[in-house]
Amino acid sequence: MAGKGTMRACSIKAYGAVDDNVSVVEDWPKPTLRAGKGEMLIRVCAVALAPGDCRVLSGKTSLVQGPKRFPYIGGGDVSGVVVQVDEGEKDFAVGDQVFSLFDGKPMGRLAEFALVKTKLSCKKPANISLLEASTLGSSAFAALRAAEKGVRKGDRVLILGATGGVGPFLVQLAKLKGASFVAASGLNTELLSSLPADRVIDYSKENWWEIEEIKDGKFDMVFDLAGGRTSWREAKKAKAVKSGWNGGRYYATVWDNPYMVIQHWYQVFNFPTPILLRFWYAKLNWAIPTYRYLLVPGSDNPRPVYERLNKIIEAGDLRVVLSPGAPFPFTTEGVREAYNLQKSRHPNGKVVIKVADDL
């Protein structure tokens, strides 16, 4: 641990390549709790990376997700131990083990200490470690929201991109919600086989839209976690999902480009256009499945979702899947390796960096 008024932190000095701009420094100023801001100070155990971390680093969404200044601290989803709370705080106390979601911009958490919003935080489940709890902030949250909104008892469900950060949670939760059959597509078939998937698809070896047991309206719904425009087009062509008349649904959590560009104000209106057109086209054409884009996390108050998630985990019905190599060490080399793996879009589970070895 660094000096009394400073701390170790992941410093990102500019937009661009990971190896050129990401490093761990020893002398970053330790954050100070600000009265009346709804915050608490935690000692960080671990940080789980997500696509948003790499999106910020790319600079492609600088208008809405850019840092106020460089260098900035990376990392959004975090777990740790509360070391200071605001006066009058009732939900949390010093010593609580918590996890937290980033507040709008995934940054500021990959350090020995971090400020987190109390409304975006929750005590961790009793039966998992703080390290594992770092993965819950956005990915497990997104998976539970998607399952609750989309899966009906008896559904046949196809999950595309099931070996990322959200996918392993969603495969488990779809089954838990009563799906009768879950087909899961990804690169790591060993991982998918360890989950309750009834059909494992290695997309490097077979096209899911050409598989006979998927074609011709055999599925009630699709969760697209990876493909965007291509997956939507192929799903329609293969008629993989039932028509809207028959309850067919297509839920996407990705844009057509994972690193959409929002660097100027006019681009704020341009990037959602394909999604809106798709939504209205499907709404007016009941011969194809209904289309919905899930903006997750998308809740001003995620605490109720987290509390439901905690109950599921504590009942032993949901397990955390870490990417091979995780947890990565909190060194310049370790953080760069983690960022590069996340950037590759093939993490095979959650990419987690362990900040404190004694938590």
pLDDT of residue 228: 84
pLDDT of residue 4: 76
CA 325/CA 125 separation, integer angstroms: 24
CA 194/CA 168 separation, integer angstroms: 10
Amino acid at 262: I
Checking 17-22 for CB contacts under 8 A at 24+ apart, the result is 18/57, 18/336, 18/339, 18/340, 18/343, 19/336, 19/340, 21/57, 22/57, 22/74, 22/332, 22/335, 22/336, 22/339
Class for the domain spanning 6-135+322-354: alpha beta
Residue spans per domain, the chain:
6-135+322-354, 138-293
pLDDT of residue 259: 60
Which of 342, 296, 347, 351 is CA-nearest to residue 162? Answer: 347
The length of the chain in residues reads 359
Would you give the DSSP letter of residue 246? G
CATH of domain 138-293: 3.40.50.720
CA 320/CA 139 separation, integer angstroms: 10
CA 267/CA 260 separation, integer angstroms: 9
pLDDT of residue 257: 59
Q: Read off the pTM.
A: 0.94
pLDDT of residue 206: 92
CA distances from 75 to 11, 54, 199, 346 (A): 10, 10, 34, 18
pLDDT of residue 88: 86
pLDDT of residue 267: 67
CA 92/CA 123 separation, integer angstroms: 8
Using a 10 angstrom Cβ sphere, with 0-12 exposed, 13-18 middle and 19 or more buried, the burial of residue 243 is middle
pLDDT of residue 297: 60
CA 227/CA 252 separation, integer angstroms: 9
- Residues in the chain predicted with pLDDT less than 70, given as ranges, are 1-3, 256-259, 264, 267-268, 271, 296-300
CA distances from 306 to 98, 122, 158, 196, 320 (A): 11, 7, 25, 22, 15
Terminal C-alpha separation, the chain: 13
Q: Give the SS3 label for residue 358.
A: coil
Which region, left, alpha or beta, applies to residue 64 given φ > 0 means left and ψ of -120 to 50 means alpha? alpha
Backbone angles phi, psi at 48, to 5 degrees: -105, 125
